[in-house]
Amino acid sequence: MTAHDAVEVIIAKRDGGVLSDSQIDWVIDAYTRGEVADEQMSALAMAILLNGMTRPEISRWTAAMIASGERMDFSSLAVPTADKHSTGGVGDKITLPLAPLVAACGVAVPQLSGRGLGHTGGTLDKLESIPGWRAALSNEEMLAQLGSVGAVICAAGDGLAPADKKLYALRDVTGTVEAIPLIASSIMSKKIAEGTGSLVLDVKVGTGAFMKSLADAQELARTMVDLGTDAGVRTVALLTDMSTPLGLTAGNAIEVAESLEVLAGGGPADVVELTVELAREMLRGAGRDDVDPADVLASGKAMDAWRRMIAAQGGDPDAPLPVARESHVVAAPSSGVLTRLDAMAVGLAAWRLGAGRARKEDPVQAGAGVVWHARPGDAVTAGQPLLTLLTDEPARFDRALASLDGGYDIAPAGTAFAATPLLLDRIS
């Protein structure tokens, strides 16, 4: 590998230049080894935020991050593989019913998931509310479970794109989180290194999402689809609304309970719609669009796959889920039509109740969260329960209530209401 100088690479990008393959390979490798200092990589990340990167630059940057660690290989499996990644939202429990559903359709799902930070929930935190369930699996355990069960949801090992782990922590404290080339390469380096054959991206758009505008979400989605395509992974992105939270719950154990309703053939219509739509895309990418996931969901086979998946990771699928010790009901202040329920307000409330964390080392409460009893478009009556707040620590209610202030609108009865479609765009 050709040696370069960190200052030379920083200046090249600061001045709007295009980094060479050699410069990119060197700076990622040197940073991972500690030869490039944090303050130097901070300066480079800021230059990338301000000046952007070309498609070949982002592709090479992603490849260098993948090369910093190991690559997983599922070619020994008898069935194709497909994975899904969500950019994060509020009440987004879709991975929980989706992975067993796709497995029940004959496609293996190696789902590496993360933990919640701030107002966005984490899939692993939700599953850890199930007694006995464990997130940490070795590569061998993951492969064995994919062969026997067809689905695994677990934490990414330290060997997968270690450069990303280091750079992600740095971006968090240097105001460079929003750099689209760095967001895209962070997500895609791990997903490509994971070794899945096809990938569906659920890019959230709206107040409760990382990308607030459709244009920014489309740019991120296009960048990630290009990266997947360049790496030989069949990739498609769905842009979905996150101005209203998904389903009727935001938390950990309460989202597991809602996911079980979906697997049992019920559950909120939006959660069912998105689960089935993403399953169709995953099956199409894996060459199995001869199977209708809606039929499989109705048959109960996805619930069977869920029970096997949970048990394989030490969880008891029959154990009662944790329940918060304290609750507080927010009543509707007036009668009429609920026209808005803001995803960010609900997400902040759930976080402040203990369902999320401010720093990645913080603990979370399994039973904490928010339940809403109406969705936009529903009629409400003054005094009826609108939201229920759940926590083990009643001192948390005041701050949660403050985050919900102004977070919903009730219009007079008879007001016309037009719902935002859940699916906003598809990029392939």
Comparing CA positions, the residue from 402, 423, 403 lying closest to residue 344 is 403
| Per annotation, catalytic residue among 164, 230, 241, 342 | 164
Half-sphere exposure of 123 (CA within 13 A, CB side): 24
- Strand 385-391, strand 369-372: pairing: antiparallel
Question: Which of 59, 86, 186, 189 does the annotation list as catalytic?
Answer: 186
- Measure the CA–CA gap between 397 and 379, rounded to whole angstroms: 26
228 alpha-carbon distance from chain centroid: 17
The answer to whether residue 165 is catalytic is no
Dig out the tokens for 222 from the structure.
């296009």
Please pick, among 13, 190, 280, 308, the residue that the annotation labels catalytic: 190
Cα–Cα distance measured from residue 251 to residue 324, given in angstroms and rounded to the nearest whole number: 11
H helical segments located in 286-341: 293-299, 301-312
Token digits of residue 370? 């928010």
Examine the residue annotation and report whether 85 is marked as an active-site residue of this protein.
yes
- Helices 301-312 and 95-104: crossing angle in degrees, nearest 10, is 110
Largest Cα span, the chain: 70
The closest alpha carbon to 255, from 51, 95, 32, belongs to 95
Of the residues 4, 13, 84, 85, only one is catalytic, namely 85
Catalytic residue among 93, 119, 171, 396: 171
Q: Tell me the residue type at 265.
A: G
293 DSSP β-pair partners: none
**Is residue 158 among the annotated active site residues?**
no
Query: If we measure between CA atoms, which residue out of 312, 135, 285, 134 comes closest to residue 196?
Result: 285
Provide the pairing of β-strand 369-372 with 249-251.
antiparallel
Catalytic site residues? Answer: 85, 164, 171, 186, 190
